[in-house]
Chains A and B, each alone.
Chain A
């Protein structure tokens, strides 16, 4: 084998190693780059009730996370009342979590979706004929 062939062979090897590394990084990427959700968050948004009327709301939420699962305990308030919420979520993407919530004050359950971007998150809930869109911050 001459020197030039050796150089080409080395370059190919290097690319293979790099390619393997990139593939490994791609597999590992969702967890290595995942947005953590654990901690206390607060913010507000709008709640739409089953009959269509809307109210502004403020919420406080505390998440605890274990691997790809997270649980939420929180309270949301409008000017006329407050409700306690709990939810179980599972990470569905690098920045997103989905799951189901339960509202103990009114016995309502439904689905919850959370998108996390750094220290902000968007939360949308649907259930009992109503929905809520909230923006929370750490």
Chain B
């Protein structure tokens, strides 16, 4: 079987057969480089060098709030709050745990560590159980709860009892059983935001290891600076990992099936260069790598590799049929090129849908995706034929050797032949089954709900998440939540009304289930009232003055116009956090009504996530639905056929619904990573559909039964489609090696969606389009049976 244009051994130029130009001849851009191959190769090399410098400029954005950065009121308010009270964002939380925590020797060493931590350059204050004071006596300053020389024996036991009963630190900085202690280390914002955070965190770890040696205590670090560092390290590591593994996988597959190194280079080279050029461009445009942008590498690889495999396959078939390499690659561009252009256009449209997200991170991802897709298209259609004419040699020897002995490809053709016979025989039944299945999947997909949890954004094989879970379990939470009280212009914090407002807000937070570790200036006021019997404002002001500035700034802004009641919540799903925030807001309404001049607002990263995540995910989901309609219309327009438009819808929806139902079955919910995976996979899955439809428009004739064209196109395009899907699935599946949960989810879900897309292409698209074509043509040629040649 010639495997070319459906006729035995004859080669026809596309312009003799094609009824119209699919993408208005845009694919001919790929032929420009063939006019001057050496010069074009030199330009390509020069661009690669420039791109390499661009890659060197790429930086990592490890901010945890970027996902929610938008122009809405909640985020703007959060940013204002972060500027006035930067504490939580720069707190490293050290969790020390062990049965012997409260033993005399261990406490001595822990105290030495806490002292040492304050001398590390880049830190600006430490809060721990050693910060606790005893009530002052005889008008003196309050002394430390732990005396300089620790007592021994029964006296030490009494001290331990006193410490564990201290109402300020109990349940906040030390658990009630005395087995877990929290040390809060405030970093200098300049260090935390610059490149010095890694050095400071390393110094903290070193100090902990040195000072606590022999104690048996387990020490882990968490908090925003540590999470950012772990995200940055994971993102940088994953870039290298995906490039290497994706490259190796693609090369291996290409060699196995093409059976010649030069074909492997022709197939694998353009995608790799596309990655380099795309990432280099992003670097020159000052894009910053983040959790989502890190997906760009495997994404470009799979889009480009898919098209380069299609083109290489087409050229290879022509070489086997006896054409020269120049003609073979030229024809491959003219025949398969339009589908490549349309595929990239479809992928670009799927990124356009993401531009409407409320999240800056996702919008940036969409912008990067559009840029990368365009670059990948030009790279593949110009470089592939160029590499083909430069590297493929002695094509006549190759043709003679492979003809009749192309086992791998022949097996795939036989399989596609088998599929084609079945779907062509009963298109109506298969179409009906497809419709019913999709409707069933759709009903389940509608029950999929949005999910967001901070831990899903952070590497979960590192310390930060493990330590956060410990805090969640034993000290009521590791995620900060805050109520910000802005004072009226003519009011001071140290006046009765302001303090009354603060007391009410503090009480509401303390009593709220799910919120723990509540601190504010009111904590000090209550302590003074309870231990000293002092309730006057002058004493409170005096004691606030005694506090280190790094501690007082956590609760009182520098201009003294705002104060904060800070608490912690566990890292739970946003859907569970929303009711807590709602209850706090409702309780605060009473205070707001009583004191309308005081602006009282709930804020914090966890609050922003709880409030915005659901709406953002659902907005993306809606965009995806609309995208399906637009893309189907776009394809129908390109093929100038309403039948094509209708036929493209079901196979486009199937992988999305199937993936969504899988998420529902696994109880995973719809997360940011999954919606991005579905959106992008939708665009990639259409690659299979478009290549088939492109082939069909060349094989189908209005005067013959639709089944003939469908069968020929299936056998011709099936093998590269299957191979391409295997490459796509492997290329995406490598992300399961990532430490980032969101990236892992993206990887396996996308791989599943690609396989679902191939299934839809073979078992839904073909019977559907055949059924529609036959119905449209009035069954005129039902009596004709498709001419099927045995594969190979």
Residues of A whose CB lies within 8 Å of any CB of B are 42, 44, 46, 49-60, 75, 77-82, 105
Contact A79 B119, beta carbon cutoff 8 Å: no
Residue of A nearest to B110 (CB): A79
| 28 CB < 8 A contacts A-B | A44-B115, A49-B143, A51-B138, A52-B140, A53-B141, A54-B148, A55-B144, A55-B148, A56-B111, A56-B112, A56-B148, A57-B115, A58-B116, A58-B119, A59-B119, A60-B119, A75-B118, A79-B111, A79-B130, A79-B131, A79-B144, A80-B130, A80-B133, A80-B144, A82-B118, A82-B125, A82-B548, A105-B548
Please judge, given known A-B contacts A58-B116, A79-B114, A79-B128, whether A49 and B141 are in contact too, CB under 8 Å.
yes
Residue of A nearest to B549 (CB): A105
Residue of B nearest to A77 (CB): B118
Residues of A within 8 A of B119 (CB): 42, 58-60, 75, 77, 82
Residues of B within 8 A of A81 (CB): 118, 125, 131, 548
Residue of B nearest to A83 (CB): B548
Residues of B whose CB lies within 8 Å of any CB of A are 111-112, 114-116, 118-119, 125, 128, 130-131, 133, 136, 138, 140-141, 143-144, 146-149, 548
Residues of B within 8 A of A78 (CB): 115, 144
Contact of B146 among A57, A58, A79 (CB under 8 A): A79
Residues of B within 8 A of A46 (CB): 148
CA distance A78 to B116 in the complex (A): 8
CA distance A78 to B118 in the complex (A): 8
How many whole Å from B427's CB to the nearest CB in chain A?
79
How many whole Å from A135's CB to the nearest CB in chain B?
15
CA distance A105 to B551 in the complex (A): 13
Contact B118 A53, beta carbon cutoff 8 Å: no
Residue of B nearest to A57 (CB): B115
How many whole Å from B184's CB to the nearest CB in chain A?
13
> Of B112, B125, B128, B144, which is in contact with the most chain A CB atoms at under 10 Å from its CB?
B144
Contact B115 A79, beta carbon cutoff 8 Å: yes
Contact A80 B131, beta carbon cutoff 8 Å: yes
CA distance A105 to B118 in the complex (A): 14
Residue of A nearest to B133 (CB): A80
Contact A56 B143, beta carbon cutoff 8 Å: no
CA distance A59 to B115 in the complex (A): 9
How many whole Å from B151's CB to the nearest CB in chain A?
13
How many whole Å from A70's CB to the nearest CB in chain B?
21
How many whole Å from B616's CB to the nearest CB in chain A?
42
Residues of B within 8 A of A82 (CB): 118-119, 125, 548
CA distance A77 to B149 in the complex (A): 16
Residues of B within 8 A of A59 (CB): 119
CA distance A54 to B125 in the complex (A): 20
Contact B144 A53, beta carbon cutoff 8 Å: yes
Residues of B within 8 A of A49 (CB): 141, 143
> Of A49, A57, A78, A81, which is in contact with the most chain B CB atoms at under 10 Å from its CB?
A81
How many whole Å from B191's CB to the nearest CB in chain A?
15
How many whole Å from A32's CB to the nearest CB in chain B?
35
How many whole Å from A54's CB to the nearest CB in chain B?
4
Residues of B within 8 A of A55 (CB): 144, 148
Question: Lowest 6 CB-CB distances: which A-B pairs, in order?
Answer: A51-B140, A79-B130, A77-B118, A53-B143, A54-B148, A82-B118
Residue of A nearest to B146 (CB): A79
Given A54-B148, A60-B119, 12 new contacts (CB under 8 A): A51-B143, A53-B140, A57-B115, A58-B112, A58-B115, A77-B118, A78-B115, A78-B144, A79-B130, A80-B130, A80-B131, A82-B118
Residues of A within 8 A of B133 (CB): 80
How many whole Å from B553's CB to the nearest CB in chain A?
14
Residues of B within 8 A of A51 (CB): 136, 138, 140-141, 143
> Of A46, A77, A80, A81, which is in contact with the most chain B CB atoms at under 10 Å from its CB?
A80
How many whole Å from A75's CB to the nearest CB in chain B?
6
